[in-house]
Amino acid sequence: MSLDTLKSTRVLAVLRAPSAQSAILAADALVEGGVTGLEITFSTPDAPAVIRALDEKYGDRIYLGAGTVTTSQQAEQAADAGARFLVSPGTRENLTAAMKATGLTVMTGALSPSEVMAAVEYGTDVVKVFPASLGGPAYLRALRGPFPDLPLMPTGGVTPENIDEWFAAGAIAVGAGGDLCSTAALATGDWAEITRRAQLFSTVGVQA
């Protein structure tokens, strides 16, 4: 499976919103700021409806997917709604199989080398290194030793200040949650702040 779109998108915004409407408005703010990778988590109410609305609005102008996928039903719902990729916080064999059955790009979470090996064995397309904040770019670089060609996407602990370090350490892309789209900004509807943060993420760092 080609990962060119993920590579060119560079940043996936992990969007955990308190309501479907706030998720859509936050997505608009992110796109305005230059972040076009949108991961709508299933911890957001009515996540499939949000995905469908954003797909209808933006189409191929964004790279749209679902996150916090923990059941096969969620994988199917996201695919039906128009998601291009599916992300799970961890790796389970049956869940990975269900995610792969949709034909979408599959990203499953792992942290230790054994978990990374399991993710590869089960057929994930991209290993989501999570929570990447525990080891930082140095840990990602260490994983590159035994897994030199494996697509790795760190999520957690990615900031505008260190994003270039993550790419230099071997990230294919990065996932950014609270530092890009904070709980406070979502709660208060501070869309201008989300756009400002998106501009920082989209204009700094160069991919190694």
Q: Please tell me the distance from the alpha carbon of residue 75 to that of residue 191, in angstroms, as a whole number.
A: 29
What are the domain boundaries of the chain? Answer: 4-203
pLDDT digits (tens, 9 = 90+) for 7-29: 999 999 999 999 999 999 999 99
A 10 A CB-CB count for 102 gives 20
pLDDT at 204 exceeding the cut of 90: no
Task: Give the predicted TM-score (pTM) of the model.
Answer: 0.96
Q: Average pLDDT for residues 198-204, to the nearest whole number?
A: 92
Q: Average pLDDT for residues 158-162, to the nearest whole number?
A: 96
Q: Which of 56, 76, 121, 128 is catalytic?
A: 128
pLDDT digits (tens, 9 = 90+) for 91-136: 999 999 999 999 999 999 999 999 999 999 999 999 999 999 999 9
Q: Is 128 a catalytic residue?
A: yes
Banded model confidence at residue 1, pLDDT cuts 50, 70, 90: low
- Look at the domain 4-203 and name its fold: TIM Barrel (3.20.20)
Q: Which of 7, 32, 39, 193 is catalytic?
A: 39
pLDDT at residue 2 in the model: 80
Banded model confidence at residue 208, pLDDT cuts 50, 70, 90: very low
